[in-house]
Chain A
Amino acid sequence: MPVHDLGYRTWRGERAAHFLRPLVVARAGIALVFKRRWLRIMLVLAWLPVLFPAFGIFAFEYSSTEPELQDMIVGLVSRPLQQPELGALIRNDPEAARHQVWSTLILMFFRYPQLFAMVALIGLIAPLLVSYDLRTKAYLMYFSRPLSPTQYIIGKSAVIWCLLGMVVTLPALLLYGMGVLLSPDLSVVQQTWDIPLRIFAASFVLLIPTTTLAILFSSLTAESRYATFCWFATWALGFVAYQILTFSPAAMSGDRPRRRRGPVDWEAMGVDLDRWRLLSPYHTLGKVQAWIFGLDTTSASVIPCVVLLVAITVVGFWIVRRRILARLSV
């Protein structure tokens, strides 16, 4: 017997409160996914797009002293971001334009690079969470402890929330912080105090339904590849279906958007951007996030999109919970 083998000894100590147990699941899950090298590389790569809005904010804050940077930021918001009015405002009254410029750049960061990063990250990580537990019957280990299915789901979801927070919320907050530090004085905080709150709200909208959907797919099968396929198929098919159904009438009528400065007037061409929006998770999220940042440009109400996201969350959670309870039933 080794000298350090003390045999069996009893243990009497203070135990952690039951409501803290999901944190253990989350911490273990995070430690587990961080063991994967490809994930660490992906996280670094997911941070790279923050350079573009960072440069935009930098250019805006120095536009008053550097005419070249002013031309650059005006060009950026007028053409790629299709907001010529904002470009004019930057030239005429930069102080008044600050809130909208920052919001636009951060929304752009949320909408384009980080949404795609989110889809890729969750698609690769989420199936590992519940599917693997089903395959290896690890749920027997989890639920032999004082852990409820709800706590288990929260713990597993928190793994994704943490990773998404790292690639979406944290860089967006850093962007805001960088903007404050680059601005002439701290009075800009008074103008832009709501932007961090909007960042949190937009992150919440992004994290909760998408995580629930991913966990749902993961819980439906012990084969993680099927869950991965379903996840990517949902986003890709939704995106393609929306594009085809929304823009095919205009394309078939032969109308082409006229080349001019500013946003394309789709409504004038008979295109209803909101009619098929609920088919596409990408566009549904985009509508709600744009509304949160006060930059929603389409006429339809945001409520159907919010209802859809809430429905995905509630129904998804219910199904996952039922799946787990079914596994535990004799």
Chain B
Amino acid sequence: MLDHAWPQQSRAIRDSIGYLPEDDCYIAGLEGIESVTLMAQLSGLPTGEALRRSHEMMDFCGFGEERYREVESYSTGMRQKLKFAQTLVHDPPLLILDEPTTGLDPDQRLSMLRRIRNLATQHGKSVILSTHILPDVRTVCDHVVILVAGTVRVMDTLENLSRPVEPTMHLSIMGDPQTLIDRVSSAGHSVRWNAQTGTLTVGGIAPDQTAQLWSWAAETETAVRRLEPAVNSLEQIFMDVAAGKKTSGSTQEIAAGLHAAGLDPEADRAGP
């Protein structure tokens, strides 16, 4: 693991891992900056460097003067940020983050996710994010592993999991869609109209074939307000897997199995 032998070099491995526990854990009596410095020193940073680096990480995590307050007086969100600073202080190449956005208010949550994404994309950190907040997964992750009762049930890229069995497009239509529906149907594609949302779902059209849709819309003089590819919802995948709709198989088989298991690609859409 991380070029180290397990378990012989477990300490070197732990030096290379930043772990953010889900539990509310802190060292009573210490100030915020002292807590981060202690973790840095436990990871082997020299005293002065540990303090400097701790300030740097607390700045990165959005701490101001409150870093000089005792940790007991911190709110849940601040403790979460403190744990994140402790996770990063020794500059580990691998981050294991267990529910990192718990207790954060919406703007702090967004900032936290941006930081995590930034660490992965700009600084080459590998991030393992454990969470039940599935929108966070879509914001941060490239790969998804779904565990049920300690067993891996799904393991694939987010892109693969999101892709429906049949390429499908969602169109938001202004006005009467009937002529467009007739035109698309005549071309042999499946079409479904949702009057409540004003959305037309067209099957068999991949994202790179949207020119065809635009031409049919122009031909039938239909105004298209929005056009986007359909993706599988993680929530639906998670619930189906947890419910045992698909319980075994290799990585790709699991992913393929999900499609075959009848997950409706048209049932959900990505956000606007």
Alpha-carbon distance A32/B34, docked complex (angstroms): 10
**A146 near B59: Cβ-Cβ < 8 Å:** no
Among B15-23, B140-148, B199-207, B258-266, the stretch in contact with A: B15-23
- B residues 29-79 touching A (CB-CB < 8 Å): 29-30, 34-35, 38-39, 41-46, 49, 53, 56, 59-60
Alpha-carbon distance A18/B41, docked complex (angstroms): 11
Alpha-carbon distance A17/B42, docked complex (angstroms): 10
- A residues 215-246 touching B (CB-CB < 8 Å): none
Whether, in the assembled complex, A166 has its beta carbon less than 8 Å from a beta carbon of chain B, the answer is: no
**B56 near A9: Cβ-Cβ < 8 Å:** yes
Whether, in the assembled complex, A147 has its beta carbon less than 8 Å from a beta carbon of chain B, the answer is: yes
Q: B25 is contacted by which of A2, A9, A136 (Cβ under 8 Å)?
A: A136
Find chain A residues with CB under 8 A from B43 CB: 15, 145-146
Name 15 extra pairs, CB < 8 A, besides A16-B46, A25-B42, A141-B27. Answer: A2-B59, A4-B59, A6-B59, A8-B60, A15-B43, A21-B42, A21-B44, A24-B41, A132-B28, A133-B27, A140-B23, A142-B42, A145-B42, A146-B11, A147-B42
Given contacts A133-B27, A136-B26, A141-B25, contact A11 B90 (CB under 8 A): yes
Find chain B residues with CB under 8 A from A142 CB: 42
Alpha-carbon distance A229/B23, docked complex (angstroms): 29
Alpha-carbon distance A148/B7, docked complex (angstroms): 13
Whether, in the assembled complex, B217 has its beta carbon less than 8 Å from a beta carbon of chain A, the answer is: no
**A interface, size bucket:** 35 or more
Alpha-carbon distance A35/B49, docked complex (angstroms): 23
* Closest chain A residue to B62, Cβ basis: A5
**B23 near A137: Cβ-Cβ < 8 Å:** yes
Whether, in the assembled complex, A190 has its beta carbon less than 8 Å from a beta carbon of chain B, the answer is: no
Convert A112-149 into 0s and 1s, putting 1 for each residue whose CB lies closer than 8 angstroms to a CB of B. Answer: 00000000000000000000110111111110111110
Whether, in the assembled complex, A7 has its beta carbon less than 8 Å from a beta carbon of chain B, the answer is: yes
Whether, in the assembled complex, A92 has its beta carbon less than 8 Å from a beta carbon of chain B, the answer is: no
Whether, in the assembled complex, B184 has its beta carbon less than 8 Å from a beta carbon of chain A, the answer is: no
Whether, in the assembled complex, B88 has its beta carbon less than 8 Å from a beta carbon of chain A, the answer is: yes
* Closest chain B residue to A15, Cβ basis: B44
Alpha-carbon distance A148/B123, docked complex (angstroms): 30
Whether, in the assembled complex, A184 has its beta carbon less than 8 Å from a beta carbon of chain B, the answer is: no
Given contacts A6-B59, A9-B56, A28-B30, contact A144 B41 (CB under 8 A): no
Convert B100-136 into 0s and 1s, putting 1 for each residue whose CB lies closer than 8 angstroms to a CB of A. Answer: 0000000000000001001100110000000000000
Find chain A residues with CB under 8 A from B192 CB: none
Whether, in the assembled complex, A13 has its beta carbon less than 8 Å from a beta carbon of chain B, the answer is: yes
16 inter-chain pairs at a CB distance below 8 angstroms, sorted by A residue, are A5-B59, A8-B60, A8-B123, A11-B49, A11-B90, A15-B15, A16-B45, A18-B11, A21-B44, A24-B38, A31-B34, A32-B29, A137-B24, A137-B26, A138-B26, A141-B35
Alpha-carbon distance A132/B41, docked complex (angstroms): 20
The 4 nearest A-B residue pairs measured at CB: A15-B44, A146-B11, A137-B25, A145-B42
**B17 near A144: Cβ-Cβ < 8 Å:** yes
**B38 near A28: Cβ-Cβ < 8 Å:** yes
* Closest chain B residue to A135, Cβ basis: B28
* Closest chain A residue to B12, Cβ basis: A146
Given contacts A2-B59, A15-B43, A15-B45, contact A145 B14 (CB under 8 A): yes
Find chain B residues with CB under 8 A from A6 CB: 56, 59-60
Q: B86 is contacted by which of A11, A31, A32, A141 (Cβ under 8 Å)?
A: A141
Alpha-carbon distance A200/B168, docked complex (angstroms): 81
Which residue of B34, B39, B44 has the most chain A CB atoms within 10 A of its CB atom?
Answer: B44
Whether, in the assembled complex, B228 has its beta carbon less than 8 Å from a beta carbon of chain A, the answer is: no
Find chain B residues with CB under 8 A from A8 CB: 60, 88, 115, 118-119, 122-123
Which residue of A2, A10, A11, A32 has the most chain B CB atoms within 10 A of its CB atom?
Answer: A11
Whether, in the assembled complex, B91 has its beta carbon less than 8 Å from a beta carbon of chain A, the answer is: yes
Find chain B residues with CB under 8 A from A16 CB: 41, 44-46
CB distance from A22 to the nearest CB of B (A): 10
Find chain A residues with CB under 8 A from B23 CB: 137, 140
Find chain B residues with CB under 8 A from A132 CB: 28-29
Q: B29 is contacted by which of A4, A10, A35 (Cβ under 8 Å)?
A: A35
Find chain A residues with CB under 8 A from B123 CB: 8, 10
* Closest chain A residue to B60, Cβ basis: A8
Find chain B residues with CB under 8 A from A18 CB: 11, 44
Q: B30 is contacted by which of A21, A32, A148 (Cβ under 8 Å)?
A: A32
Alpha-carbon distance A28/B91, docked complex (angstroms): 21
